[in-house]
Structure 1
Amino acid sequence: MSNISLIIEERAANVGSFLVGRLLPFRQKRAVGPFVFLDHMGPEELKDYQNLDVPPHPHIGLSTLTYLFEGAIMHRDTIGSEVEIKPGAVNWMTAGKGVVHSERTPEYLRDSEKSLHGLQIWVALPKDLEDTEPSFTHIEAEQIPSLQLGDVKVKVIAGEVFGKKSPVPVHSKLFFLEIKSFEARKINIGEELFGESGLYILEGAIKSEGHKYEARQILIAKDSSLCEFEMLANTTVYIFGGEPFPEERYIDWNFVSSSKEKLRKAREMWENQKFPEIPGETGFVPYPNFKK
């Protein structure tokens, strides 16, 4: 019997500046452990007149994780953070009861050609932390722990696996791993995983139980403890998941919560511009006019 319960293909989604590949949430799978949202940005080649510009927009009830493969993004928020993220580093923002942030091409790159490629991830907060004070942590690339499994390189981007603990200050039991192969190699890491798990193929391909799976797919495991597959040469995958929460999480635009009432209040606050403002920023992303 196959250990793969679901295969999710990237679907195009418009985030305002350009199209991204949306992976989570999915109609048949709203979350994998505490992970409730996953976008694949790019790879995008931007001209000297093109820039990433995501104006101020709000979040509640989640932590955002930004991880780049190429390019740079300037993050600004209402906590007072103003940080440029580059490839291999992690931006981890916990919205808690409410935060507003913007994401833009840094000023020194705005008039030149540039690339942008990375992952944008939302991790839901435990119910008792949904109203926590917002916070922001930047982790440099060299601070992310890594290890070698033969000729396969593993980075522990978030969580604790293989006796390595990421400095990313997560709020629940989870894991987010990068695995790169240079030669074909069988991988068996089920004993390290727990809860629910998904495997995203960024590039290359893997084989599992006689089937071959290509890039830009997420494979959802029936049992994370049976995570065994073959990576083909020059393949990069991301394995993520963890313990699911006992309560359902609801998503309304950029808001995540175990309470629909909190979502309604957050929406009203944003529509009435009651969230704090980012110093030096102008404009904002309006709440979308969803069809009811």
Structure 2
Amino acid sequence: MNKKKSSFSTQGQRADIGELEIYRILGNRYADAVGPFVFLDHIVPKTQTKVNKTGTGAHPHRGIATLTYIISGEDEHFDSAGNYAMVHSGGVQWMNAGNGIIHDETLNYDSRTDSRITHAFQFWINLPAAIKAQKPAYLAIEGNEVPVKDLSEGKGWMKVIVGSFEELRSAIPDYSAQFLYHIHLEAGASFTTEFPDDVEVAAFLPLHTAILNDEHFDAGDFIEFDRNAGTIELKNENNEACDFILFGGERYKEPIVAEGPFVMNSRLEIANAYREFYNGGYGKIDYEKQRAKISGSKA
């Protein structure tokens, strides 16, 4: 099978929130979506000197699933459907916003470890029109629950955050063919995987340079590939381990209309999303009640 060719590469734009240093990777000037993925923010590794108490602030979503993958730190989640969880390093927060929800997240260093580094990714996954009309849903997945496998010959490991790979299967629901992999390669190691026709695929290099299908790319590069069937070879020629984020899926075939925190299928649906939000249709977050419910269950 032929190697897939890169279509373009680009770097993200700064989009900081409070003390968090963030780069907006997707959308970018070349692409609005990769498969069902319409958004990617990289919260870059940073030593945290003080506890973040304000988070992102309560805000609405509709028509998408948000996915926060925490490399290092702990992420506290609240939403107006009554969901609350604290997920730690290696874990995932997934929220299907469905027909409307308000949520808030606060990322801090992991209180269970000596590390004060915070590092995470947030994706938005576009939902099919039928799912956009359903009630919201939520999953909290700790790091030890994320499917992982060691690669042969001590080359590294691979985690399946969304979708499946060989015997690995994520607990996050699939509403279309989609995948999100975290691949960790030791110095000098390589890994190859293949994709069929009409699958949209992108890679992101969060921290190190790497070789992808014989092309050199820099740390911070987002790379999209052609849609022909073919393989992608990831190669780490550094003197230290290197991480790759590989994601995509089948092309989203319904119209996409995005504005602010809403991704719908028409301008009218966007207008309805705003109207229902301003009319109080998404509910409210009861921070103290949600925290107390979790504390009470541990007593």
Whole-Å separation in 2 of the counterparts to 1:2 and 1:244: 17
Q: 2:173 aligns to what SS in structure 1?
A: coil
Give yes or no for the alignment of 1:270 onto 2:277: yes
Q: Assess, with a 3 A threshold, how the Cα gap between structure 1 residues 163 and 113 changes in structure 2: closer, same or farther.
A: closer
Superposition CA RMSD, Å: 2.5
Matching residue of 1:225: 230
Whole-Å separation in 1 of the counterparts to 2:14 and 2:82: 33
Whole-Å separation in 1 of the counterparts to 2:107 and 2:286: 17
Matching residue of 1:286: none
Whole-Å separation in 1 of the counterparts to 2:166 and 2:220: 26
Q: Is the 8 A contact 1:161 1:192 kept in 2?
A: no
Match of 2:257 among 244, 250, 261: 250
Q: 1:129 aligns to what SS in structure 2?
A: helix
Matching residue of 2:15: 13
How does the TM-score come out when normalised to structure 1? 0.87
Alignment of 1:1-292 (within 5 A): 3-16=5-18, 18-48=20-50, 50-51=52-53, 53-105=55-107, 114-150=116-152, 151-191=155-195, 195-223=199-227, 225-233=230-238, 234-280=241-287
Q: Is the 8 A contact 1:193 1:242 kept in 2?
A: no
State the Cα distance separating 1:36 from its structure 2 match: 0.3
State the Cα distance separating 1:16 from its structure 2 match: 4.9
The alignment covers a number of residue pairs equal to: 279
Give the ranges of 4+ consecutive aligned residues of structure 1 lying more than 4 Å apart after TM superposition.
49-52, 105-109, 191-194
Whole-Å separation in 2 of the counterparts to 1:54 and 1:208: 34
How does the TM-score come out when normalised to structure 2? 0.85
Which runs of 5 or more residues in structure 1 are unaligned? 282-292
Whole-Å separation in 1 of the counterparts to 2:225 and 2:277: 37
Percent identity over the alignment is: 26
Whole-Å separation in 2 of the counterparts to 1:137 and 1:194: 29
Which runs of 5 or more residues in structure 2 are unaligned? 289-299
State the Cα distance separating 1:189 from its structure 2 match: 0.0
Whole-Å separation in 2 of the counterparts to 1:107 and 1:71: 4
